Amino acid sequence: MKLSHRISLFSTFFLLILLLLVNMSIYFVFESQTTNAELNRAVSRAHTIVEAIRPTGMESHNPSEMLQAYVPGDGMVRVIRENGRPIVSVTKELHLNDIETMYTNQEQMEKANFDGSYYAVVRTPVIWSDGSIVTLEVYEPMVFYEEAVSTLQIILIVASLLIIVPSFFAGRALSRFILQPIKALVATMNEIREQGTFKKIEVREQSKDELDQMGISFNHMIDLLKKNFERQQQFVSDASHELKTPLTVIESYARLLKRWGMQKPDVLEEAVEAIFSESQRMKEMTNQMLALATDDSAAHSNVSPVELKKIVEETAHKLEVAFQRDINVQSQWERLVVQGDEGKLKQLLFILLENGLKYSDEKLDVVLAEKGESVEIAVKDYGVGIPDEDIPRVFERFFRVDKARSRKTGGSGLGLAIAKGIVDVHMGDIRVESLEGVGSTFFVTLPKGEGG
Ligand code: ADP
C-alpha cells in the first residue's frame, strides 16, 4: 500500500475512533438525563394520583372514577391487587392492557419498551378504598425522550460525516504535499541509477522546512560524490600518464638490450642503469600514490600529543646525514606540543625538508614558533624558488614546476599533495612564499595540543 494511502487511512481511522468515543459519551449522558427527567415526571404523576385516591371517609369517594382524570394521554393507570389481578385499568390504548401486571409494596420506577414505544413506569403501594394495600401502576409514554434521542442520533451522524469526509480528503492532500519531494528524490535517484550520471533535484534554497533541507542535503551529497568521482578519474588518468613515461623508458632500453646489449658492454651498462633508476622512480611513485590514497581519510589517524621540536630535530638530522647538508632548526620554546599522528607529521616534515634540499644547494632554516592557539613551522631554503604563476598549483597532484628539473631530482609531483592531505587531516593550514632565484619558505600551521 502506498505511503500516502497509509497516512490518510491511519489519520481517518484515528479520527473515527475519537469521534465514536466522543459521540458515545454525549449520547449516553444525554440519554440518561432525558430518561431521568421522564421517570421523574411519571413519579410526580403517580404521587398526585396517590394523593387524590387516598380514602377520605366520605361516601361519594370512588377512586376508580377519580383515576379517569389522572390517566396520561396514550398512557395507562392500573391498580393491582396482591394476587396480581387488576382492580381497575384506565387507558385509551387498549393494547396496553396486555402488559403483564406486577404487584409490589415498594416504590419502583423503570423504563420499559412495549410494541416499540418507550414508557416511564412507576409502581407505588397505596391503600385502596376497602383498606387493602394495592399497587398503583402508572405508564407514561416517553414521547420527548424518543424525539430527543432520535434527533440527537441524526445530529451526531451528520456532524461525524461532516468531520470525517473532509478530513479524509485533507489527509490525502497533506500526504501528497509531503510526499511530493520524496517522490522527486526517488525519481532522481532512479534516473541516476539508470543513466549513471550525477543529477540534482530542484529545491527552494531559502526554505527552512525539513523536506527542502532533505533536498539540499541530497544535492550536497551528489556534489561531493561528483567531485570525488572526478578527482578519482583525474587521479587514475594522471597516474597512468605518469607511469607511462618510465615504462616507455624501460621498454626502449630493454629493446636496445635485446638487439645490442650482449655485444656492447657500454650499451649494457647504460641500459641496466636506466632500467634500474626508472624502476626505482616507479616504486617511489607507487608508494607515494598509496600514501596519498590513505591520507585522505582521517579515520585511520593515530592521534596523540606530539612533541614537535623533537620530531623536527630528528627528521632534520636524518636528512643532514643523507644529503650531507646543513639544516638549522630554531625554536624559542623547548616544548611545542600538537595533537596529531606522529608518523604522518614526520612524513610531512620529511617532504618539506627533502624538497628544500632538492631544490637548493645551500643550507635550510627551520623555524618553530607559537602563534596564538597554533604552532607554526617555517621551512626556508635559498634555492631556485617557484614562479608566481605556479605557486597556487604546487599542492595539486602530479604538478611539477619544471618537469625536466623534477625528473632530474626524481620528483613525481605528489609530495606536496601528500603534505597538504596530512595538514588537512590535522585541521591545519599550509602555504608557500617564494621568489624565483631567491628561495622558498613553506609555512605549516597546526592547532596546539594539550600541554603545548
Ligand atoms: P616533487 O616530487 O616533484 O618534488 P612536490 O609535490 O613535492 O613534487 O612538489 C611539486 C613541485 O613544486 C615540484 O616539482 C617543484 O617544482 C616545486 N617545489 C616544491 N618544493 C619546492 C622548493 N622548496 N623550491 C622550489 N620548488 C619547489
- 3-state SS, the chain, equals CCHHHHHHHHHHHHHHHHHHHHHHHHHHHHHHHHHHHHHHHHHHHHHHHHHHHCCCCCCCCCHHHHHHHHCCCCCEEEEECCCCCEEEEEECCHHHHHCCCCCCCCCEEEEEEECCEEEEEEEEEEECCCCCEEEEEEEEECHHHHHHHHHHHHHHHHHHHHHHHHHHHHHHHHHHHHHHHHHHHHHHHHHHHHHCCCCCCCCCCCCCCHHHHHHHHHHHHHHHHHHHHHHHHHHHHHHHHHHHHHHHHHHHHHHHHHHHHCCCHHHHHHHHHHHHHHHHHHHHHHHHHHHHHHHCCHHHCCEEEEEHHHHHHHHHHHHHHHHCCCEEEEECCCCCEEEEEHHHHHHHHHHHHHHHHHCCCCCEEEEEEEECCEEEEEEEECCCCCCHHHHHHCCCCCCCCCHHHHHHHCCCCCHHHHHHHHHHHCCCEEEEEEECCCEEEEEEEEEECCCC
**Is residue 414 in contact with ligand 1, taking CB distance under 6 Å?**
yes
Q: Distances in Å between the alpha carbon of 110 and those of 121, 420, 431?
A: 5, 94, 99
103-126 pLDDT tens trace: 998 999 999 999 899 999 999 999
Which one has a higher pLDDT value, 320 or 237? Answer: 320
Q: Atom 20 in ligand 1: which residue has the minimum CA distance?
A: 355
**Is residue 357 in contact with ligand 1, taking CB distance under 6 Å?**
no
**Is residue 359 in contact with ligand 1, taking CB distance under 6 Å?**
yes
- Could you tell me the distance, in angstroms and rounded to a whole number, from the CA of residue 403 to the centre of ligand 1? 10
d(CA 122, CA 43): 6
- Could you tell me the distance, in angstroms and rounded to a whole number, from the CA of residue 318 to the centre of ligand 1? 20
Q: Atom 4 in ligand 1: which residue has the minimum CA distance?
A: 411
Q: Distances in Å between the alpha carbon of 93 and those of 90, 114, 141?
A: 9, 12, 11
- Could you tell me the distance, in angstroms and rounded to a whole number, from the CA of residue 198 to the centre of ligand 1? 35
d(CA 118, CA 100): 16
Sign for the CA dihedral angle at 328, 334, 337, 343 comes to positive
* Cβ neighbours around 29 below 10 Å, total: 10
Q: Atom 23 in ligand 1: which residue has the minimum CA distance?
A: 356
Percent of the chain with pLDDT over 70: 93
166-177 pLDDT tens trace: 998 988 888 888
- Could you tell me the distance, in angstroms and rounded to a whole number, from the CA of residue 338 to the centre of ligand 1? 26
For residue 286, pLDDT over 90 is answered with no
Q: Partners of 133 in the beta sheet?
A: 127
pLDDT computed for residue 408 by the predictor? 57
Which cell goes with 159? 456532524
pLDDT computed for residue 377 by the predictor? 96
What number is the average pLDDT over the span 72-87?
Answer: 91
**Is residue 419 in contact with ligand 1, taking CB distance under 6 Å?**
no
Q: Name the nearest CA neighbour of 418 among 330, 356, 348, 349.
A: 348
Q: What is the mean pLDDT of the chain?
A: 87
d(CA 350, CA 284): 14
pTM over 0.75: no
pLDDT computed for residue 265 by the predictor? 81
Q: Which of 348, 394, 443 to mutate to test the pocket of ligand 1 (most atoms within 8 A of CB)?
A: 394
What number is the average pLDDT over the span 87-109?
Answer: 91
pLDDT computed for residue 299 by the predictor? 45
pLDDT computed for residue 231 by the predictor? 78
Percent of the chain with pLDDT over 90: 48
Q: Atom 11 in ligand 1: which residue has the minimum CA distance?
A: 400
Banded model confidence at residue 61, pLDDT cuts 50, 70, 90: low
Q: Which of 353, 360, 393, 416 to mutate to test the pocket of ligand 1 (most atoms within 8 A of CB)?
A: 416
Q: Atom 7 in ligand 1: which residue has the minimum CA distance?
A: 415
Which one has a higher pLDDT value, 292 or 212? Answer: 212
- Could you tell me the distance, in angstroms and rounded to a whole number, from the CA of residue 324 to the centre of ligand 1? 20
**374 φ, ψ (degrees, to nearest 5):** -125, 170
- Could you tell me the distance, in angstroms and rounded to a whole number, from the CA of residue 446 to the centre of ligand 1? 21
292-312 pLDDT tens trace: 776 555 445 578 899 999 999
Please say whether the beta carbons of 367 and 378 come within 8 A.
yes
423-433 pLDDT tens trace: 998 999 999 99
45-59, 78-92, 313-327, 388-402: segment of lowest average pLDDT: 45-59
**Is residue 421 in contact with ligand 1, taking CB distance under 6 Å?**
no
- Could you tell me the distance, in angstroms and rounded to a whole number, from the CA of residue 355 to the centre of ligand 1? 6
**Is residue 141 in contact with ligand 1, taking CB distance under 6 Å?**
no
For residue 345, pLDDT over 50 is answered with yes
- Could you tell me the distance, in angstroms and rounded to a whole number, from the CA of residue 38 to the centre of ligand 1? 105
Contacts of 103 (CB under 8 A, 6+ apart): 80, 81, 82, 83, 84, 134, 135
**128 φ, ψ (degrees, to nearest 5):** -80, 170
Which one has a higher pLDDT value, 205 or 152? Answer: 152
Determine the atom of ligand 1 nearest the C-alpha atom of 414: 6
> Look-up: residue for cell 605557486?
391
**Is residue 394 in contact with ligand 1, taking CB distance under 6 Å?**
yes
- Could you tell me the distance, in angstroms and rounded to a whole number, from the CA of residue 148 to the centre of ligand 1? 97
